[in-house]
Amino acid sequence: FDLIDLDSKAVKLSDYRGRAVLVNFWATWCGPCEAEMPLLQDRYTTYHGSGLEILAVNIGEDEATIRPYVEDLGLDFAIVLDPELAVNDDYRVLGYPTTITIDRDGNVVDVHVGAWLDEQLDAVLSQLGFGG
């Protein structure tokens, strides 16, 4: 997919080829989404240098709604906008948050619906070669 980030820059999933990617579908109005964001930020900070990327796909909200939320939570992974829910629909996302895990070879290795618990996320990241 090809979406626009908060700085109006085009972001393509293919830009992350060779890296492990968590594609996280979320919204500011979603309580479980907000609950898991600090965990995602923590793992991103820990493993980004080793090849982990997070693409947080916001579903249907505008930049003015999203930016303060991102700043309040101190998120520094990629936030991209899906205003028409096209990517959401392409990936058949039905609940939020949903995270699709893609390995370094571009294979989908996990689809997780709901907020991550520490041990769940760590298990998936371990499959990708992060952590112990």
Please report, rounded to a whole number, the percentage of residues in the chain having pLDDT higher than 90: 98
pLDDT at 132: 63
Q: What is the mean pLDDT of the chain?
A: 96
Q: How many CB atoms lie within 10 A of CB 5?
A: 15
Instruction: Identify any residues that bridge with 112 across adjacent strands, giving them in sequence order.
Output: 99
Across the range 95-108, mean pLDDT stands at: 97
Following CA atoms 107, 128, 99, 81 in sequence, which dihedral angle do they give, to the nearest 10 degrees?
A: -80
Higher pLDDT, 37 or 132: 37
pLDDT at 19: 97
pLDDT at 131: 83
Across the range 72-77, mean pLDDT stands at: 97
Nearest to 91 by CA among 41, 8, 10, 21: 21
Across the range 94-112, mean pLDDT stands at: 96
User: Tokens standing for 111?
Assistant: 């689809």
